[in-house]
């Protein structure tokens, strides 16, 4: 899930902008992509670039679920814990993921490969239960499908496309 522009390209856009603050989220994502998460130093860089205080940037970072303020795994699994997914078997799937990965919700595997995080709703209610792995959305999940997705990630080194499984 990359922003797609380098930090230098983003800096040029911001410097030419009448309203540099409108790039604050893009800047956070760009530095997160560069460092793996939004470090304290990155918060300072973003603040300086867009003309905000570090506290304002921190407040925004804490608002967005997909901005990470601590190291995360190479593969971020976000399992929906919304009402529909929960009633459609989401808790069973969470237990399966925790068992497969050997971690609890909110943790990262020791090898740094997987992080397992909750997400309130991914808007895939018609395909509940659902999860997102590095931007790939999976729905109508079962324990078997989850095992297959994790196996493909380990074999291919990337999340399978929806049609691959």
Reported as a single tens digit per residue, the pLDDT across 33-67 is 899 999 999 999 999 999 999 999 999 999 988 89
Domain limits, the chain: 7-63, 75-158
| 7-63: CATH number | 1.10.10
Instruction: Check residue 7 and give its pLDDT.
Output: 83
Gap between the Cα atoms of 62 and 54, Å rounded: 12
Give the 3-state secondary structure of residue 4. Answer: coil
Instruction: Check residue 4 and give its pLDDT.
Output: 60
Residue 97: closest CA among 127, 125, 118: 118
Query: What architecture does CATH give domain 75-158?
Result: 3-Layer(aba) Sandwich (3.40)
Q: Which residues in the chain land under pLDDT 70? A: 1-4, 163-165
Instruction: Check residue 1 and give its pLDDT.
Output: 44
* Cβ atoms of 80 and 119 closer than 8 Å: yes
Instruction: Check residue 6 and give its pLDDT.
Output: 79
What are all long-range contacts of 155-161, with beta carbons under 8 Å and residues at least 24 apart? 158/134, 159/75, 159/133, 159/134, 159/135, 160/136, 161/136
Instruction: Check residue 40 and give its pLDDT.
Output: 97
Position of tokens 């918060």?
43
Instruction: Check residue 96 and give its pLDDT.
Output: 96
Q: Which two tokens stand for residue 143?
A: 């324990």
DSSP string, 36-85: SS--HHHHHHHHHHHT--HHHHHHHHHH-TT--SS---SEEEEEE-SHHH
Give the 3-state secondary structure of residue 164. Answer: helix
Question: What distances in angstroms separate CA 11 from CA 2, 43, 68, 87, 92, one per listed residue?
Answer: 16, 15, 21, 45, 45
With a threshold of 0.85, does the pTM exceed it? no
* Cβ atoms of 129 and 89 closer than 8 Å: yes
């Amino acid at each position: 899930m990359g922003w797609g522009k380098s930090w230098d390209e983003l800096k040029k856009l911001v410097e030419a902008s009448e309203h540099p603050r409108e790039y604050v989220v893009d800047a956070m994502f760009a530095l997160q992509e560069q460092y793996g998460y939004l470090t304290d130093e990155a918060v300072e860089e973003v603040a300086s670039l867009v003309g905000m205080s570090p506290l304002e940037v921190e407040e925004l970072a804490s608002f967005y679920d997909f901005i990470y303020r601590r190291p995360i795994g190479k593969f971020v699994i976000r399992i929906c814990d919304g009402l529909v997914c929960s009633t459609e078997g989401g808790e069973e799937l969470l237990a399966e993921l925790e068992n497969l990965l050997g971690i609890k919700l909110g943790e990262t595997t020791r090898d740094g490969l997987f992080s397992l995080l909750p997400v309130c709703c991914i808007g895939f209610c018609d395909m509940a239960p659902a999860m997102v792995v590095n931007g790939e959305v999976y729905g109508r999940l079962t324990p078997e499908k989850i095992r297959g997705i994790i196996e493909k990630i380990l074999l291919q080194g990337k999340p399978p496309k929806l049609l691959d499984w």
